[in-house]
Amino acid sequence: MLTLLAKLLQALNSESSSRQIALAVALGFYFGLAPLASLHNIVILFIALFIRVHLSSFILSATFFSGISYLFSFALVGLGESLLTAPALAGLFTSLYQFDWFKLAHLHHTYTLGAFVFGLVMLLPIYFLSMRLVEKYRESFMATLERYRVVKALKASKFYRIYTSLSGQGV
């Protein structure tokens, strides 16, 4: 876990695109909300592996959001239940339940449907928020941090040179 955190900090401080990191955080949010063995989580995992996202950021955000998803579980169950029991949507869900992919996706479960819909709605806001936070971090916090003598001393140390050579950054 410390290695993932170090790789996230390395990505924040590197020249990696803020869009790649933000997309990894947004996909990790969506992945972390739903139960691990759901069909849409498998699709999200394939999306994260096939497009260029920062994988350490994806894994770290998926772990973080799956941990705090328990705080949202009652709201997600309520959302899923209100959608499944809505009279206007009863015909839609009855016809969708006839398809095997709908059963396989477990969208007839209240928590899974609530997490699917909430994650889908929040995907773009999380993406833009995390992109803005990464850019803000790089503009202000990283520049401020670089001016401190402690950081300059750490970067001049032998330990830092060994760390950068082992992490693949070079010296």
- For the chain, the structural domain boundaries read 2-139
Cα-based angle 104, 27, 24 (whole degrees, multiple of 5): 145
pLDDT at position 7? 64
Q: How many residues does the chain have?
A: 171
CA distance 153 to 145: 12
Write out the chain's pLDDT in tens, 171 residues.
556 566 666 666 666 788 999 999 999 999 999 888 888 899 999 999 999 888 888 998 999 999 999 998 999 999 999 999 999 999 998 898 898 888 888 888 999 999 999 999 999 999 999 999 988 888 887 767 666 666 666 666 666 666 666 555 544
In 3D space, the residue among 68, 38, 62 whose CA is nearest the CA of residue 49 turns out to be 62
What is the spatial distance between Cα 34 and Cα 67, in angstroms, rounded to a whole number? 11
Classify residue 17 as left (phi > 0), alpha (psi -120 to 50) or beta. Answer: beta
Q: How far apart are CA 167 and CA 130, in angstroms?
A: 25
d(CA 40, CA 33): 11
Residue 57: its pLDDT value, please? 87
Predicted local distance difference test score (pLDDT) of residue 116: 93
User: pLDDT value at position 171?
Assistant: 44
pLDDT at position 53 is 87
From CA 79, how far away is CA 25, in angstroms rounded? 23
C-alpha–C-alpha distance, residues 14 and 106, integer Å? 40
